[in-house]
Amino acid sequence: MSFTPSRNLSLLAVAASLAFASAGCATKSKAVASSARGSAAKARFVGAPPPAVKKAKSEIENELTQVGAKEDGALSPELVREILEVTPPPAQAPVIASEPAKDEPQEYPPHALDEMDSNARGGERLRAIPVARLNQAGAPVAPEPLKRLDALEASSFELSASEETPLIFDIPVTYNDRVRAWIRYFQTEGRTSFRIWLERSARYLPFLQYELQRAGLPQDLVYVAMIESGFNSNAASHAGAMGMWQFIEATGERYNLKVDWWIDERKDFHKATRAAIRYMSDLFKQFESWYLVTASYNMGENGVRRLIARHKTHNFWELANRGALPAETTDYVPKILAAVLISKAPGLYGFRDLNYQMPLSYESVVVPGGTDIINLAGYLGVSEKYLKELNPELIKGFIPRNIRGHKIRVPKGSSLAVSQFIRQVVKNDPHATAAN
């Protein structure tokens, strides 16, 4: 996936503002406030800023003033003002000097500087000084008044044209005390686990995002799988939920995931992902709110329907604030939102030098009953662990003899070698059945 400069800087500015506003990063000191200001409206190069910087700043200002929040506690006008530092223009245009005044603080977050300094190599460093919009004649232009932020849940959070860059967020983004607390947790006590999840995410994200996009669902729903299992197909819960998407057996059966003594398709990241997509699509038809969809995914749709009827509200945050939801579900949506924010810009939240795993590369072949994937791994010259990782649903490591054929995933480019292995199996074992 490629990112244009405008996307990188737009994402950087929004994430930096939220990250530095988070209590997990630092206290609300003057340094933090100046860092947030430096990452958004006040960031400016000495001399003429690169077009990408101007474009990114303009997009942030225009889009954040239009994107709204139907849910209580979502992005508010006050938060937007905090992010963009919207202030009346000065009486006259500021002077852009080659050096700041001696008593003028240099206000920029270090990580934003590292990111944007690459555009100024060979020139002067980024300076953060008060600026105002200027018209073609050089006179200051007053910023447009902030519009009421509403209907975020029904809109796309996009900081540049969709034909130019991918969406930054495509689910509603609420930033409140609950979300902030989970960001702080993942930065501290849960840091080790979250780092592992981030590094593992690259292994599966291409497939997961493709499937969500193909189904017309928000791609950011991949972070449901991050919170459910840390993208681990072998994850198991105390309640008997299994796999990357943590299906219990009854729900898995409803969405055609087979569970038998030799196979558990809840652990098949292909089939379980498609089942999760169908399940979340069904939930959205019922609730028309992604927050209630994810809450239902956690506690069950019947319980959510009862709470909505009892409290006469479809607002997740109202249900949470009234103590109507189980504690686990109350935390579930904020966890997902925290995961979304950190995963979009991990360096700004302190997750640097990540060793992202390579995306899985494989192809599918049909093998006969009696095939042992441990023996197949040895024949292909790959590790047993790797082949099991491609086929985690095979809980016994083989396909029973009475199964005529079963599709498995093998390393890309190895289908011919698999065919040779199968011919040897059939030749040496008269009871083995050749697959179609």
Contact 410, 359 (CB under 8 A): no
For the cut 80, the answer to whether the pLDDT of residue 167 exceeds it is no
Q: Which domains does the chain have, with CATH numbers?
A: 5-154 (no CATH), 177-349 (1.10.530.10), 362-428 (no CATH)
3-state secondary structure of 48: coil
The listed range with the strongest mean pLDDT (97-101, 156-160, 254-258) is 254-258
Q: What is the pLDDT of residues 226-250, one digit of tens each?
A: 999 999 999 999 999 999 999 999 9
The predicted structure's pLDDT at residue 430: 55
Q: pLDDT higher for 26 or 171?
A: 171
For residue 347, is pLDDT > 70? yes
pLDDT for 380 beyond 90: yes
Q: Closest Cα partner for 300 from 317, 314, 312, 286? A: 286
Please state the rounded mean pLDDT for residues 322-349: 96
Q: What is the pLDDT of residue 382?
A: 95
pLDDT for 428: 72
**Is the confidence at residue 57, as pLDDT, over 50?**
no
**Which of 150-159, 299-308, 376-385 bottoms out in mean pLDDT, i.e. has the lowest?**
150-159
Q: How many residues does the chain have?
A: 436
Say if residue 359's pLDDT is above 60: yes
Contact 400, 435 (CB under 8 A): no
The helix/strand count (H/E) of the chain reads as: 17, 4
Residue 283 is encoded by which pair of tokens?
Answer: 């939930």
Does residue 381 register a pLDDT over 60? Answer: yes
Q: Which two tokens stand for residue 346?
A: 């991990």
Spatial distance between the Cα atoms of 272 and 234, rounded to a whole number of angstroms: 12
DSSP strand E in 218-373: where? 362-368
pLDDT tens column, 250-281 = 999 999 999 999 999 999 999 999 999 999 99
The span from the CA of 218 to the CA of 209, in Å, is 9
| Among the listed residues 144, 176, 181, the one whose alpha carbon sits nearest the alpha carbon of residue 63 | 144
